[in-house]
Structure 1
Amino acid sequence: MDKNEKHKIKAQKQKQKVDANVAKAQIERGIMLVITGKGKGKSTAGFGTVCRAVGHGYKAAVVQFIKGKWDCGERDLLEQHGVPFAVMGTGFTWETQNRETDIAAAENVWQQAKKFLADPDIHLVLLDEMTYMLGYDYLNKDEVLSAIANRPENQSVVVTGRGAITELKDMADTVSEIKDVKHAFREGIKARKGVDW
């Protein structure tokens, strides 16, 4: 048997497996995705999902925890396409160095997040860097998990950030962990506009 014939047989077996899985997946509902880990690209993956939804004509909303008021290429683009944003606006916790201020800011933006999570017209909600809010006990864990669990049936949610708590991962339909293998910043290369932010 030559190489081409072996390849064809292998591809046919793979196709049978994929087709069987596609036939089995018949449930129609929104899903919850958690993108966590120490590697770069969690928010980028979340925003890519928002772009995909908007590209298909769906309504999406974004809540940015941790982020500051500096330029955000994704926000600049997506707001032009009608995507509403709620931004915590305090920056990283090591910059504020004030737990009470951070908690108040997190609670304030969470109020808007709850409205997005209750709106059946919103197809996708991105909770960017939400994992920190739960890991640092800035928000009530039970309230957050309940709001996500009780969202409209066809609404999907993407949660990003390092150190996702077990309860968040357990309730998710899909969990991806991004591994840190190498990062330009550790080599002294400055974060680049349009690539890193």
Structure 2
Amino acid sequence: MSETPDEDAINARHNAKMKVIQAARARMMGERQEQRGLVIVNTGPGKGKSTAAFGMAARMIGHGRRVSVIQFIKGAMETGEKAVFDAFPDHIEFRPMGEGFTWDTQDRARDIAVARVAWEAAKARLLDPNDWDMVICDELNIVLRYEYLPLQEVLDAIAAKPLMKHFVITGRNAPQELIDAADLVTEMNQVKHPFRSGVKAQAGVEF
């Protein structure tokens, strides 16, 4: 079926508009030539903070880069992402170093000690100039919220990290100082969640 004159006019206007947008995008991309490691924060009450970080880890593996994942809360359960990443030992280490959420452990002193061990491991990888292209600190924001670690230590490590190293931090309630220090901040907002309707966490979706 041949197009009507009205459709021809609509298509012509659309093509002209897309050419303008294409030219503007080309100019914008041409102006952005700097490359450096980014500080990335995924926060907010919605689902997807860790999932997004692990997606970046998968991309890094695809480019032959090396990633260290340190989990500050999770540790007591097996997850699908760990099973996948363990298949790429030359490109990623996946270290669940937590002992569960603080309302489950109910031992503040132990939570602080566990957080310290995990942070020292993460900091060593973050500051290493010769290894690990990306360091992911999963749920570090929760540790900071409960003041298990001094925020200033994290900010100092950010300031001292090698130029090209990416640092990803996840968890709800990111402190404002961390948001200010970051290059990329995404807030996941919850619109609807099956848990509110009585659906429990399920393998492959939540873990």
Asked whether the two chains share a fold, i.e. TM above 0.5, the reply is yes
Cα distance in 1 between the residues matched to 2:27 and 2:21: 10
Q: Secondary structure at the match of 2:69?
A: strand
Query: What TM-score, normalized to structure 2?
Result: 0.91
Cα pair 1:68 1:92 within 8 Å, conserved: no
Cα distance in 2 between the residues matched to 1:100 and 1:16: 58
**Match for residue 168 of structure 1 among 178, 184, 187:** 178
Letter in 2 for 1:178: M
Letter in 2 for 1:15: Q
RMSD, aligned α-carbons: 1.2
Give deviations 1:105-154, integer Å, cap 9, x for gaps: 00011110011101232111111111111111111111111112211111
Letter in 1 for 2:55: G
Percent of aligned pairs with the same amino acid: 44
1:88 paired to 2:97: yes
Which 10-residue stretch deviates more, 65-74 or 54-63?
65-74
Q: How does 1:102-141 map to 2 (within 5 A)?
A: 102-120=111-129, 121-141=131-151
Q: Secondary structure at the match of 1:109?
A: helix
1:13 equivalent in structure 2? 20
Give deviations 1:86-122, integer Å, cap 9, x for gaps: 3223101110111111101000111100111012321
CA-CA distance at 1:22 after TM superposition = 0.8
Cα pair 1:86 1:113 within 8 Å, conserved: no
Letter in 2 for 1:51: A
1:53 paired to 2:53: no
Structure 1 residues not aligned, in runs of 5+? none
Cα pair 2:60 2:66 within 8 Å, conserved: yes
Cα distance in 2 between the residues matched to 1:39 and 1:113: 25
Give the total of aligned pairs.
197
**Match for residue 181 of structure 1 among 191, 196, 204:** 191
1:149 paired to 2:156: no
2:30 equivalent in structure 1? 23
Q: Secondary structure at the match of 1:152?
A: coil
Which segments of structure 1 move beyond 4 Å, counting only runs of 4 or more? none
Give deviations 1:72-92, integer Å, cap 9, x for gaps: 111121122121233223101
Structure 2 residues not aligned, in runs of 5+? 1-7
CA-CA distance at 1:9 after TM superposition = 1.7
